[in-house]
Amino acid sequence: MAIEPLPDGRWKVDVEPIKGKRFRKTFKTKGEAQRFEATCRAKVVDNPDWSPKPKDRRLLTELVSAWFDLHGHSLRDGERRRSKLDLVAKRLRNPQAAKLDPQTYAHDRRVRLGEGTSPKTLNNELGYLRAVYNELRGLGVIDYANPLALVKPLKIQERELSWLTNEQIGELLDEIRKGCDNPHVEIISLICLATGARWSEAEKLKPTGLRNAVITFSGTKSGKVRSVPISTELEAKIIKHWKQHGQANSAITSFRRALARTTIQLPKGQAAHSLRHTFASHFIQNGGNILTLQKILGHSSLVMTMRYAHLAPEHLMDAVRFGPARLL
Average pLDDT of span 83-104: 95
Phi and psi for 23 in degrees, rounded to 5?
-130, 135
Which of 49-58, 137-146, 245-254, 313-322 is most confident? 137-146
- Name which of 36, 34, 2 is nearest 16 in CA terms: 2
Question: What pTM was estimated for this model as a whole?
Answer: 0.65
Average pLDDT over residues 223-251: 90
How many CA atoms lie less than 13 Å away from 241 in the CB half-sphere? Answer: 23
Q: For the purposes of burial, counting CB atoms within 10 Å of the CB of 151, is it exposed (0-12), middle (13-18) or buried (19 or more)?
A: middle
Of the listed ranges 108-112, 156-160, 288-292, the one predicted with least confidence: 156-160
CA atoms of 25 and 46, how far apart (whole Å): 21
User: What value does the mean pLDDT take over residues 152-170?
Assistant: 86
Say how far apart CA 258 and CA 272 lie, in whole Å.
11
pLDDT at 48: 60
pLDDT band at 287; cut points 50, 70, 90: confident
Strands 21-27 and 11-18 come out as antiparallel
Q: What is the rounded distance in angstroms from the CA atom of residue 113 to the CA atom of residue 147?
A: 21
pLDDT of residue 327: 47
Query: What are the residue numbers of the active site?
Result: 198, 221, 273, 276, 299, 308
pLDDT bucket at 326, cuts 50 / 70 / 90:
very low
Lowest mean pLDDT among 59-73, 232-246, 253-267, 297-311: 297-311
**Residue 262 to residue 58: CA distance in whole angstroms:** 54
| 104-151 pLDDT, tens digit each | 999 999 999 999 998 989 999 999 999 999 999 999 999 999 999 999
Q: What is the pLDDT of residues 200-226, one digit of tens each?
A: 999 999 899 999 999 999 877 777 889
